[in-house]
Each structure stands twice: as structure tokens, then as C-alpha cells.
Amino acid sequence: MSDILSEIRARRTYYDLTNKTTVPDTALEQMLQETLRYTPSAFNMQSARMVLLLDQKHTALWEETLRILKDMTPEAAFEKTKAKIDAFKNAYATVLFYNDDRVVASYAESYPLYRDNFAIWAEQGAGMLQSNVWMVLESKGLGASLQHYNPLIDAFAGRLAGVPESWRLIAQMPFGVPASEPGEKSFLPIEERFKTVR
Ligand SMILES: Cc1cc2nc3c(=O)[nH]c(=O)nc-3n(C[C@H](O)[C@H](O)[C@H](O)COP(=O)(O)O)c2cc1C
């Protein structure tokens, strides 16, 4: 599996994960740093931020997420919620994706002509980063999923990760060596979604 198209095809959502990794923590850190460094951003503003939660911090994130959800989930549905969150907790680690709103605001101020676009571009840049991280993890035999418990967990996650107030949580990506493969995925006819014109 060497070419980029194969990596794009291979990326899937993995919920069934183990607390094992194929890549040691230091290499993992470097890999994520490089992905963050080289993912593009509008005006090269580099507003995306990432936190790698390992060990106790990873576990604490999902334990607290479950506690928060317990208060808001009907009792009948809670068992299902707990199974889902426990699966994330049983993974190896979690990447938190943030955008630094202070950076976005400063670009909006500096470039009034494009003022309203920077927040949109920052979200698009965050999406590119998430996709790149997802594929890089997949390329190393690590399965991941993309979660959105923000804004419910923002305050807690911010304290846990020790991030500045201006960092806004965008997504959470628990990952680890997969315990099983995801099921078949369906695709719309590509002709409905793509055309070539000349
Ligand atoms: C922007 C975006 C948001 C997503 N949010 C969630 C989410 O909150 N929870 C979740 O379990 N999956 C989430 N997903 C995963 C999608 O459901 C999944 O990628 C899609 O069903 C295709 O499956 P695949 O990832 O296996 O190819 C998200 C994906 C994208 C691109």
C-alpha cells in the first residue's frame, strides 16, 4: 500500500479498537506534528491546533465524556451510549483537533476584504487536517474514527489538555490497532457526483 490513492481508499471509520499501537509514542508525536505542519491553510494562517492525549489523559477524556452524557441521556438509551464511549476509551489514544480563534480573528482584521471568509476557511483547513491525520494513522495500521462531543466537553477537555482559551475544540479522533474490520460501505453512482467537461 504505497500510493496516495490506495491510502484514500483504505481509510475507514473504525469503532472496534484495542489499546495497542503499531507506532511508539515519540514516532507518533513526530508523525502527527509533520501532518499538522504540512497540511495547507488559507493564507497559510496555520490556525489549526492538535493535542495528542495518551495514557491517563486519554482515559480521563472518555470517562468524563460518559459522565457528562449520563446526565443528559434517557436511561433506556444509556447502555448503548456507554458501549460506544467505552469503545473509544478502550482505544490507544485520542487526537483533539482545535482551531485557534485568535489567529482567525487577527487574519479577519488584517484582510477586511475577506473578513467573513476566514472562519469558513479555518473549518475547511481543519477538515483537511483531520483527513490527513486519519489517513496517516491508517497507513500505519491504526484504525480511527472522527467524533464530535464538542461543545459538551469543551470546558473539561480544555482543562485536561491545558490549552489556551482561544483554542476551540473541533473534533476528537480516538485511534488504536483495530480489533475488527468495518463492514461494507455503499457508494452513490459516481456519475451523479462528478463530471468532466471540455
Ligand atoms: C465531517 C465529518 C464528520 C463526522 N462526524 C462523525 C461523528 O461525529 N461520529 C462518528 O461516529 N462518525 C463521524 N464521521 C464519520 C462518517 O460517518 C464516516 O466517515 C462515513 O460514514 C463513511 O464511512 P468511512 O469513514 O468508514 O469511510 C464524520 C465524518 C466526517 C467527514
135 CB-near residues (< 8 Å, 6+ apart): 7, 8, 10, 11
Tell me, in angstroms, the distance from the centre of ligand 1 to residue 111's CA: 33
Residues (pLDDT < 50) of the chain are: 1
CB count in 10 Å sphere of residue 116: 9
Whether ligand 1 lies within 6 angstroms of the CB of 147 is answered as yes
Q: How much is the pLDDT for 66?
A: 98
Query: So what's the pLDDT on residue 184?
Result: 97
Q: CA nearest 136: which of 37, 15, 18?
A: 37
Protein residue whose Cα sits closest to atom 13 of ligand 1: 146
- What does the pLDDT read at residue 186? 98
Residue 131: its pLDDT value, please?
A: 98
- Give the integer Cα–Cα distance in Å for 41 and 146: 20
How confident is the model at residue 2, as a pLDDT?
A: 59
Cell of 101: 480563534
Position 94 scores a pLDDT of 99
The residue whose CB lies within 8 Å of the most ligand 1 atoms, and thus the one to mutate among 69, 128, 146, 149, is: 146
Asked whether 186 lines ligand 1 (CB < 6 A), one says no
Q: Could you tell me the distance, in angstroms and rounded to a whole number, from the CA of residue 13 to the centre of ligand 1?
A: 7
pLDDT digit string, tens, across residues 168-183: 999 999 999 999 999 9
CA atoms within 13 A on the CB side of 23: 20
Q: What's the length of the chain?
A: 198
Is the beta carbon of 148 within 6 A of some atom in ligand 1?
yes
Q: CATH class for domain 4-192? A: alpha beta
Sequence ranges of the domains in the chain: 4-192
